Structure 1
């Protein structure tokens, strides 16, 4: 089953139209071009209202209908990290954060390198200094790898956000291991929370309308991040990419270049 890839509208515009019985292309498409949308914002919620109006339907009903129909599809999402070994992901998938486990692994690494053993005291009490509430038991994804690189590069440059925050000014040691990596994952939409499915549906309807109105078959980098509270199986992983450069949001967006 082909996944919905947000940055590639050709992967989902026809799918959405087909899910709604061809009503968008036949009815909404021609009518929406007549609306005065020249000054509308990309993320204007009125796009969905306009689309529903062109179909003579209620906007909430349109969202609910499409959300239900999309629940059998998969969605391409992206996880930023700095792994030493990709084989672990191929074998075990992506696991939710276990703070105690990652501290233990980091301690083992630092103890094996005498040049970094002065950092060991920073690992003590890390969970007291860095609130694990929004991290422990979560694994985070973004809908758009372009946004991930441009605005969330610390995941790629340093790896674990928990460790990055815990090491503070000493975080540069994290750049000495691993390689900036984006893991591409196809998540079954029915495994997303219902509220997240609704938000995704609104986003797709919004941009379907904008693309139809402006005759511009492209999307723009989108801030659409979320977490899953379960391990991601290796069968969902479809690829790995390594960005050649990443702006560092923790260092005045200085661009870091990688081999």
Structure 2
């Protein structure tokens, strides 16, 4: 049935099309609830990936993944731009940026491929807050202040194993799983679509939950719309948006 109706199944992250083809739309909530129960019964823990730019990957094995500290981010801004910006410049930049949902949170993703291909700024420039601060420094000191953040540290995914209960919206995950499963059947595809599922927690991910790290070599820069080569610290102009495939080093 799914193969015959493949033209009606376009999206890989929304189950509505597939369930409509299967004539199950009226029991959608029951199907998703059943899958959520299965996930909770079968899995106690899940692997998540925290995207960052770091010059000390070993610190995650000692301290874990700690929530963002505004003061530390501001101190890093000063350290990176101290030779070209004044304290007045830093204060003005800090005052311009809203801090809602920034301090005290840890963000992670179930699928690093999605981050690498769609949210690469976390890997290329570091925390979004730090990136925002840098863009509010005077353009008179540097044409593109944010670009200097690429010169420090290294892009990394910190791989952690956490309780499945840290996932606050399993219904969303279940929906994406159903959608991709049906899409692969309909279009006879073997690849698994990247999962756009991120978590935000106000708790530190302890160091004993950190089980590894990955240094991605190529990252799509959403700001420049180019492929960033983090090994050679330059853009790879031979790779277009459509040719970009997330690969881990």
Please, what TM-score do these two structures have when normalized by structure 1? 0.73
- Superposition deviation, residue 51 in structure 1: 5.6
Give the secondary structure class of the aligned counterpart of 1:124. helix
Q: Flag the structure with higher helix content.
A: 1
- Superposition deviation, residue 147 in structure 1: 2.2
Structure 1 position 256 matched with structure 2 position 229: yes
Q: Structure 1: how far apart are the matches of 2:98 and 2:193?
A: 33
Structure 1 position 218 matched with structure 2 position 191: yes
Look up the match of 1:98: 69
Map of 1:33-112 to 2, 5 A cutoff? 33=2, 36-43=5-12, 44=14, 45-50=16-21, 53=24, 58-72=27-41, 73=43, 74-107=45-78, 109-110=79-80
Structure 1: gaps of 5 or more residues:
1-31
Structure 2: gaps of 5 or more residues:
136-143, 233-249
- Superposition deviation, residue 42 in structure 1: 2.6
Look up the match of 2:174: 201
- Superposition deviation, residue 37 in structure 1: 2.8
Q: Structure 1: how far apart are the matches of 2:11 and 2:225?
A: 27
CA 239–118 in structure 1, closer or farther in 2 if over 3 Å, else same: same
Please, what TM-score do these two structures have when normalized by structure 2? 0.75
Is the 8 Å Cα contact of residues 47 and 159 (structure 2) preserved in structure 1? yes
Map of 1:90-239 to 2, 5 A cutoff? 90-107=61-78, 109-110=79-80, 116-121=82-87, 122-168=89-135, 169-193=144-168, 196-239=169-212
Q: How big is the alpha-carbon RMSD for the aligned residues of Structure 1 and Structure 2?
A: 2.7
Is the 8 Å Cα contact of residues 52 and 59 (structure 1) preserved in structure 2? no
Name the count of aligned residue pairs. 219
- Superposition deviation, residue 98 in structure 1: 1.6
